[in-house]
């Protein structure tokens, strides 16, 4: 997933509401994000904005919580030129 970000001049992600459900030493969560990506092609800049959600799984081992899985869900994408 992170290698794909190298295609852009810059990227900014605004993370918003998150929900986590605990179940012993395991947990699941959902986080919302607006992702902004600026690219340059043929001398023209464009902005791609995506509404995404992360569906996460967590596991607690040795007293520390860690990600065990992350799924990326794309709800919508808009691309427009930048001046």
Say what the pLDDT of residue 6 is.
74
Q: Residue 5 pLDDT > 80, yes or no?
A: no
List of domains in the chain = 2-81 (3.10.450.50)
Average pLDDT over residues 51-71: 97
Render pLDDT for 7-49 as a digit per residue (tens, 0 to 9). 888 999 999 999 999 999 999 999 999 999 999 989 999 999 9
Q: How many residues does the chain have?
A: 83
pLDDT band for position 51 (cuts 50, 70, 90): very high
Q: Around Cβ 49, how many Cβ atoms within 10 Å?
A: 13
């Amino acid at each position: 997933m992170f290698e794909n970000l190298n295609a852009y001049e810059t990227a900014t992600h605004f993370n918003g509401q998150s929900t986590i459900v605990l179940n012993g030493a395991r947990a699941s969560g959902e986080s919302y994000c607006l992702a902004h990506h600026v690219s340059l092609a043929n001398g023209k800049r464009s902005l791609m904005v995506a509404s995404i959600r992360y569906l996460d799984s967590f596991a607690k081992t040795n007293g520390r919580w860690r990600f065990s899985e992350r799924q990326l869900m794309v709800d919508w994408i808009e691309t427009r030129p930048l001046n």
